[in-house]
Amino acid sequence: MKKIAVFASGSGSNFQVIAENFSVEFVFSDHRDAYVLERAEKLGVLSYAFELKEFDDKASYEEAIIDLLDLHQIDLVCLAGYMKIVGPKLLSAYEGRMINIHPAYLPEFPGAHGILDAWEAGVPESGVTIHWVDSGVDTGQIIKQVRVPRLPDDTIESFENRIHQAEYAVYPQVIKEILHD
């Protein structure tokens, strides 16, 4: 059985969907007060949280993360709203075993505000992308993408909601495919 860990910085709605579909070894958050930790508790999923500022530098922070991943013999790390760039330390240990979900159709609208950027650009459609993590920001090899339309009556909220619904459908599909490989 391949083992999954999820990294999330905030709300953790994608984590929740993953945990409802798969056995998750643990969730890691880089914020001690992130809502994802409450979700984990309710779902009975082990969680860890510590913050970059508690360490001397990013390499030591990432060493602590690697220790957790190694301890639990994790095969696949699913980033789900993990708002830090993965540094060289963590990447060199887990590249090829780490995927990310991005709420836009890459290479369109990379970065932290993919939904808002697409909304403000007024494009007729955006999307969701799942990709392998590399050293860039949302630049890794694409695994799967789906298009999500912007409808004439949309508000930013309804547009955002449609993108999130697409995320909840596609992320478990991709994880399933990778786990069965």
The active-site residue out of 102, 113, 131, 180 is 102
Determine whether the annotation assigns residue 13 to a binding site.
yes
Rounded to a whole number of angstroms, the minimum distance from the CB of residue 6 to ligand GRF is 9
**102: annotated active-site residue:** yes
Residue the block writes with tokens 């990447």: 91
Rounded to a whole number of angstroms, the minimum distance from the CB of residue 78 to ligand GRF is 10
Determine whether the annotation assigns residue 98 to a binding site.
no
Q: How many helices (H) and strands (E) does the chain have?
A: 6, 7
| CA atoms of 150 and 156, how far apart (whole Å) | 9
Output 52 or 63, the one with its CB closest to ligand GRF.
Answer: 52
> Do the beta carbons of residue 114 and residue 103 sit within 8 Å?
yes
Determine whether the annotation assigns residue 111 to a binding site.
no
Rounded to a whole number of angstroms, the minimum distance from the CB of residue 45 to ligand GRF is 14
Determine whether the annotation assigns residue 9 to a binding site.
no
Q: Give the footprint of ligand GRF on this chain (CB under 6 A).
A: 8, 10-15, 80-81, 101-103, 167
Burial class (CB in 10 A: 0-12, 13-18, 19+), 57: exposed
Output 12 or 140, the one with its CB closest to ligand GRF.
Answer: 12
Helices (H), the chain: 13-21, 35-43, 58-71, 88-94, 114-121, 156-180
The pair of structure tokens assigned to 104 is 């836009």
**Active-site residue list:** 102
Binding residues for (6R)-10-formyltetrahydrofolate: 58, 83-86, 100
Binding residues: 12-14, 58, 83-86, 100
